[in-house]
């Protein structure tokens, strides 16, 4: 049975605060030379999982910020499902992460900057609206979008400069 959470329970009051936490994690990734994307998983107003993009340093193509944060959260609460939780991520999720978000039964995804090439929430498709999904995820983008995008452009600019 499909569960749709009523919009009334959505609390947006701390969206920017949690996105700033995700931004701080993105900076940690940048320090390691990873493309700076950060994510936090929030349940009942508490951050229960944190992650930043680290596929290179971890030799793990699945180590996107969302994957890392969701894994950490699931381990922290000892549950493979995270009902009622909200994932904050600085960049629009890719298809891999969108799939995991559904499998994890995350209630809501909030992202910052758009990912025009690989983003699957609104840029290259609308993953979460597909009829075959057995779990409906609420989503919204654009929270601290400028800051989230700036971290990425700064990183790529510096990387290009170091290669010249």
Catalytic residues: 66
- Taking CB under 5 A as the binding criterion, the range among 58-66, 78-86, 100-108, 150-158 that sits at the site for Zn ion is 58-66
Complex with Zn ion: residue 42 or 67, whichever CB lies closer:
67
Asked if 63 is part of the footprint of Zn ion (rule: CB under 5 A), the reply reads: no
Question: For residue 138, what are the β-bridge partners?
Answer: 108
Considering only 39, 94, 113, 121, the residue that binds Zn ion (CB under 5 A) is 94
State how far the alpha carbon of 9 is from the alpha carbons of 6, 83, 108, in Å: 6, 13, 11
Q: Verify binding: residue 64, Zn ion, rule CB under 5 A.
A: yes
CA distance 20 to 25: 9
Q: 60-64: long-range contacts (C-beta < 8 A, 24 or more apart)? A: 62/96, 64/37, 64/93, 64/94, 64/96, 64/97
87 belongs to the binding site for Zn ion (CB under 5 A): no
39 lies in the site for Zn ion, by CB under 5 A: no
> Contact residues for Zn ion (CB under 5 A)?
64, 94, 96-97
């Amino acid at each position: 049975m499909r569960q749709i959470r009523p919009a009334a329970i959505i609390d947006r009051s701390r969206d920017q605060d949690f996105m700033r936490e995700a931004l701080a994690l993105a900076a940690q990734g940048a320090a390691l030379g990873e493309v700076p994307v950060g994510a936090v998983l929030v349940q009942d107003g508490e951050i229960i999982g944190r992650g930043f993009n680290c596929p290179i340093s971890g030799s793990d193509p699945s180590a996107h910020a969302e994957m890392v944060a969701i894994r950490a959260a699931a381990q922290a609460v000892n549950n493979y499902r995270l009902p009622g939780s909200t994932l904050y991520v600085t960049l629009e999720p890719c298809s891999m992460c969108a799939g995991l978000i559904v499998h994890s039964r995350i209630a809501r995804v909030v992202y910052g900057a758009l990912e025009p090439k690989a983003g699957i929430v609104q840029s290259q498709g609308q993953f979460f609206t597909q009829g075959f999904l057995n779990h409906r995820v609420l989503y919204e983008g654009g929270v601290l979008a400028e800051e989230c995008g700036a971290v990425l452009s700064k990183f790529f600019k510096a990387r290009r400069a170091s290669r010249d």
